């Protein structure tokens, strides 16, 4: 007696071992007779179903599954925590102080150092000058966006003076940088 074995598919046992489902000769003959009576479109449909089945069985590790759902839920938890603590808006005085500190900590020393060693022929110095120039202009724009119109007159005067002092410092540095050209 001749026994044919038809490969049906692979499955993974709970222990992680791979086993193969097989079909006996009689079962294969039974399906052969059924398929001989069907049309070509049925074969195409069965082939598509088989491909989809094999793709779902052999899903790569990076595809969607339980592990990626866990990762997604962790990401959502992180995202929720980030937005639960809303930033506290700065007062107008704190905004002016913030710009003044950034100027003093980041750009004042850098610009003075550049002024002392500037070489027109050195591309890095020219780039540094342009960078400092842009950052100082950005600080001026930020100071300009601080709206003091709706502030009580008793508070407005000192805030305007403070802002004006920072603006003058930045403008003096910009003038020094512009003289390097």
pLDDT in tens, 145-163: 999 888 899 999 999 999 9
pLDDT value of residue 55: 76
Please give the structure tokens belonging to residue 106: 């980041």
CATH fold label, 92-178: Methane Monooxygenase Hydroxylase; Chain G, domain 1 (1.20.58)
Other beta carbons less than 10 A from residue 155's beta carbon: 13
pLDDT value of residue 76: 57
Q: Which residue matches tokens 């086993």?
A: 19
Domain assignments of the chain as residue spans, ordered by start: 92-178
Q: Confidence band (pLDDT; 50, 70, 90) for 3?
A: very low
Rounded to an integer, the average pLDDT of 92-104 is 94
Q: Confidence band (pLDDT; 50, 70, 90) for 127?
A: very high
Residue 99 · residue 143 · CB < 8 Å: yes
pLDDT value of residue 7: 47
Is this model's pTM higher than 0.85 or not? no
Q: What is the CA radius of gyration of the chain?
A: 37
Rounded to an integer, the average pLDDT of 7-14 is 50
How many angstroms separate the CA atoms of 92 and 53, rounded?
A: 63
* 155 closest CA partner among 102, 92, 104: 92
Say which DSSP state 179 is in.
T
How many angstroms separate the CA atoms of 106 and 39, rounded?
A: 77
- Taking each helix axis as running N to C, give the angle between helix 123-144 and helix 92-102, from 0 to 180 degrees, rounded to the nearest 10: 170
């Amino acid at each position: 007696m001749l026994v044919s074995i038809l490969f049906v598919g692979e499955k993974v046992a709970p222990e992680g071992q791979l086993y193969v489902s097989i079909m006996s000769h009689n079962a294969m003959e039974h399906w052969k007779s059924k398929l001989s009576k069907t049309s070509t479109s049925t074969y195409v449909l069965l082939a598509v179903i088989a491909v989809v089945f094999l793709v779902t069985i052999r899903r790569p590790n990076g595809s969607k599954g339980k592990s990626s759902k866990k990762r997604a839920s962790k990401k959502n938890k992180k995202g929720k925590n980030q937005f639960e603590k809303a930033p506290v808006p700065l007062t107008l005085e704190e905004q002016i102080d913030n710009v003044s500190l950034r100027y003093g900590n980041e750009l004042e020393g850098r610009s003075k150092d550049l002024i002392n060693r500037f070489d027109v022929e050195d591309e890095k110095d020219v780039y540094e000058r342009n960078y400092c120039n842009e950052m100082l202009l950005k600080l001026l724009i930020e100071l300009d966006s601080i709206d003091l119109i709706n502030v009580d007159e008793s508070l407005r005067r000192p805030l305007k003076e403070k802002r004006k002092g920072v603006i003058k410092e930045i403008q003096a540095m910009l003038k020094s940088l512009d003289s390097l050209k």
